[in-house]
Structure 1
Amino acid sequence: MNKVIRTSLVVMLLIAAAGTARAQQGLQIATVFQKYGKQKGVTMVELSKEMLETYQMTLYKSISFKDVEPFLATITHCLEADKKKAKKVKEVVAGGQIQSGYYQLPQLREDVNRFILFKTGKKGTATLIYIEGELDADDLITMLFMKKD
């Protein structure tokens, strides 16, 4: 009996891991999270299921760089490739470099919207975010710019 339970748990974990991996499948930014997520000076965040449900999301991943310079060429290359698939693009470019970008990707499944957000900050910092879920573009903008009490 214990073997059946153990096997069932392993199968469920593998299915859950495959679902997360599939979420960014076909996107170049997935390599940024995989390659640099555990580097020194880099912080990667993935929200828990409870937090995701609060914001109508099925996946939220962010990666922040204290010093983006060593990674910027790779990130820019990945964003350029993924933006070709985007159905909505808003960017701020200065000196030929993307300072901030908002990319809405086509849905893979009905009612699952996908977004890539990128922003460089002061002193060479940067953050890359991937979000998918039921929230639409207006919900995302409201969430990003809502006042904190």
Structure 2
Amino acid sequence: MNKAIRTILIISLLAAATAMHAQQGLQIAGVFQKYSKQKGVTMVELSNEMLETYEMTLYKSITFKDAEEAMPYILHCLEADKKKARKVKEVMAGGEIESGYYQLPQVKEDINRFILFKTGKKGTATLIYIEGELDADDLVTMLFMKKN
């Protein structure tokens, strides 16, 4: 095998292993694995170039057009991961979670980890996992900055 191709293959495998390891130990990893290829579900992972722009090492989101069937599993996973969180902020409506922000303990120095969750109108739901050097203030600024 050509040395360049072998090098690219090894780098790709290491990147994939790092991404898989990133959510290791978190229940929400199961949500991404179980539902990412289902109809009506959109999963997004940012490229390295985009990650660097926002001081992230990993960004994964999964959006459900109709989350009714998946919701019990999603909520179960969030509840388990919430127990590990250092900071929890949730908005509840009618006893149900509308949105959640969870900052998890670092597993690597200077790498912060966040879980974001939001339900929308007509049964939609979005789950996001972010890892990187950005801190909570950076994340809030990024989420609420105005688009030009």
TM-score, scaled to structure 2: 0.96
Cα RMSD after superposing both structures: 1.1
- Aligned ranges 1:1-149 → 2 under 5 Å: 2-149=1-148
Amino acid at match of 2:127: L
Deviation of 1:119 after TM superposition, in Å, equals 0.3
- Aligned equivalents of 1:7 and 1:50: distance in 2? 22
Deviation of 1:9 after TM superposition, in Å, equals 3.1
Cα deviation, 1:56-98, whole Å, max 9, x if unaligned, reads 0000000000001010000000000000000000001222221
Task: Point out where structure 1 has 5 or more consecutive residues left out of the alignment.
Answer: none
SS of 1:108 mapped into structure 2: strand
Determine what percentage of the aligned residue pairs are the same residue: 74
**4+ aligned runs moved over 4 Å, structure 1:** none
- Number of residue pairs matched? 148
- Aligned equivalents of 2:13 and 2:47: distance in 1? 17
Task: Point out where structure 2 has 5 or more consecutive residues left out of the alignment.
Answer: none
TM-score, scaled to structure 1: 0.95
- Aligned equivalents of 1:6 and 1:47: distance in 2? 23
- Aligned equivalents of 1:5 and 1:142: distance in 2? 41
